[in-house]
Structure 1
Amino acid sequence: MPKRSAARPAAPPAQSPADEENWRRVTRELADDLAVDALARDRAGKPPVDELSRLREAGLPALLTPPGPLCGGRDWRTACAVIREIAAADSSVAELLARHYALSWSARFVGTAHQADVFERRVAAERWLLAGDTGVPATDTEPAAPDTVPDLTLTLTPNRNGYLLHGHRAFAAGVTVADRLLVDATCTETGDRLTALVDPAHPGLSTDPAHDRLGQRLTGAGSVTFDGVPVPSEQILGTVPRDEHHLSPYATLAPLTLRLALVHVALGLAEGALAEARDLSRAAPRTWQGAACAPAPYAEQPGGDPYVLLAYGELVAAAHTAAAVVEPATEALARGLLMGRELGVNECADIAVLVAAAEAVTNQSALQITTRILELTGTAGTAAGDPGFDRFWRNARVLTAQRSPAHSLRAIGDHYLNGTHPPLTLRI
């Protein structure tokens, strides 16, 4: 295993956080850094403390905080490009970052402009990494993965200083490293659902990290028990409407930001897996016997088996297809986020359909690519031993299991065939 360089990428200047090219340069350097020891870290499965340190040194957690009214939504698109690049090297670290970015907009969806401004500036100033879940869990007809569903048994009991938080909840990322948790809980006095900012260092909070996960082992997943954790009134970021019929279209972008951020994780994972498989296939000794009529160039290339070339062609096409579907969804969501409260129902419906399409196509491509590269590289021995391509498949399985593709495809079909808008919802 080559040694990782001691030099770490420097953060872009604070005065130009949205300089896209600068951020991409920093991200590429960090991705290269993470790729060197990705397999060893996956095998070790330790809490992502070192990984978070690398993210902080690169300045990436502060990329969207505060986002600011940048022309054309470049901040969100840049964040998605960062997620995708990091995912190609380490999808667990990318998911940690993706969830942080989605949560960094939470106060804008549920609170006032002043609450959002105060929250975002504090996140940026104190360099917090956010974790948590805000949103409504899936119904019985819309199942979701157990470790991604918010548990509505969380309660906030009013007292003279604010509230006391009680209950238990599982999180898909951040339990072991987050600086602050964002959770939705029910007020025992009014029945309102409140979005609260919680300090995980409080002694009334205990964590139980998830061990031996199939994939995405370095996200810091686990569960948290809240036993009378104080939540001052100023740490309530907003109130979620009890009746989803009264939701503003803008508020319903909350689950879409998370879903699209995770789509970029899956896309980056697929692209990274394909690139590593290509490098291994190029270096592998030729083990096949070509037909007498095979074109001469095939016999001269290490990866010259025409059937291998066909397989790679199919996988590259699948990756390009996913990227082509993800791009318009990213552009549409970036525009919607900039519109704020002016976002209308029709615009929101269009965004929801594009995100659903990106999710369905990308998840299918990620599974296809990560499964097939196990076959393409299975007989390619290396001096270093197992190349560890199973981690890509395991990570893809966990990522794509977080939401059933049937619901996305049904919504797309209903919209196309009947012109039906996806419902305005906070379901994740």
Structure 2
Amino acid sequence: MTIDIGTRISIADAFDRLMKDGLPFRFTAYDGSSAGPEGAVIHMRLLNERGLSYLMTAPGDLGFARAYVAGDLELDGAHPGNPYDALVALKSQLKVKMPAPAEMLQIIRSLGFGNLKPPPPPPEEHLPKWRRALEGLRHSKGRDAAVIHHHYDVSNRFYEYVLGPSMTYTCAVFPEEAATLETAQFEKYDLVARKLGLEPGQRLLDLGCGWGGMVRHAARHYGVKVLGVTLSEQQAIWAQDAIKREGLEDLAEVRFLDYRDVTETDFDAISSIGLTEHIGVRNYHSYFAFVDSHLKTGGRFLNHCITRPDNRSMDTGHFIDRYVFPDGELTGVGRITTAIQDSGLEVRHVENLREHYALTLAGWSRNLEKHWDEARKEVSLGTAKVWGVYMAGSRLAFERNEIELHHVLAVKTDRDGEAGWPLRPTW
């Protein structure tokens, strides 16, 4: 076929030519062109040139997210609170090819690469000035506080709609696949408590305690005196109110505090549920050394965090870093267990709960879809759409083993290697 490189083609045709097997969904562009199967469940609409600029001037998922969040790209057939099916189609069936040079030049001319300029990011992506000014101070106390504020101090009411009554923003453990999200979150906290061997009268430190779910569970069901710390002021306020409502003030406390500023020591147990992802791989040594120094001899430590299927460290990706978890970093469970061992603790048990997180995210997505109108009153449309894409995309990543979720249980032995509990835990 002879290609006239001077002839411009439509936007839809240009995108279709870039796909190895063609577009798996219907695509319509603002120039009136369309491509892809007419009866497709998913219909992607590119509404304007700004959306095209987002797609073509930012890498991968970031360009798509910017166009979608800004309202320049729409997905018909997918609820914005739960666009899982659309993401399956996008990630499973889109296979990009490299056209012949003449055809590629024609595509470039048609898409107007020479005239495309990166538009400003949508408001939801804007990060505080500290991000630019303090780029070299990643995971300093000030920067970590700002990162947590960016993600968690959105709206407690919004989180209530998404997370449900447990107000738990970490992987649940499903005793059976059909279990409710609330049952599974209860089981998660109880599993952690059983692994830690909690008993009445003991002291537990919960690092990155969120809205105090583990704090209140351990106090109510195990009679443990618990201190939880979080860098989110809104979480701390909500958690303290919940502690008062439930009459647990004598046993439970949540502080708005950096874990590095905890002065109490000799805890019988320490739990870290969903915090390790935020501290940075380079800081593992100091983090687990903190845990070791705050545990009494014979004390147990449970680390619960998102991991990678290999032991290379990697940022969470452009979209999640800009919109969801600034400065997040993941690595494999092997690197985490090594760091825990190097701190002086003895690792006793490791468990992968990957599929449980996929089920957890499916539940959160259903909640957001169900409460979409109420949630929209708490945050901007762009922020709500970010959450829809983030949770659906994360669910897909857990299902495909692109990311995992591990429990690592360790104990602080005495000089003779004694830990005061059976070699093989019995939970």
Q: Normalised by the size of structure 1, how large is the TM-score?
A: 0.26
Q: Normalised by the size of structure 2, how large is the TM-score?
A: 0.26
Which structure features the higher share of helix residues? 1
